Amino acid sequence: MCRSIVRLRSPEGPATREEITEAALQYVRKVSGFRTPSRANTEAFDRAVAAVADVTEQMLADLVVTYRA
């Protein structure tokens, strides 16, 4: 997919909202094909980034993870 998206789930602790938003931005850029959207597409682009970040944050909060030493 996109090699610049980092793994957000780690034993060191939860990802910050900033890290989640950055990953969401990279995902939306990859899927849309736009690094920076035009003015006509900015609202849709920003909504998509926010929605992906929200659902990612919820998924990470809902995951049941058992770490092995």
CB count, 10 Å around CB of 8?
16
pLDDT at 4: 66
> Residues 15-39, buried b or exposed e (16+ Cβ, 10 A)?
beeeebbbbbbbbbbeeeeeeebee
- Give the position of tokens 């780690």: 10
Beta carbons of 32 and 48 less than 8 angstroms apart = yes
**pTM of the model as a whole:** 0.83
Residues 6-64 have pLDDT tens digits of: 788 877 778 999 999 999 999 999 999 999 999 999 999 999 999 999 999 999 999 88
Beta carbons of 60 and 14 less than 8 angstroms apart = yes
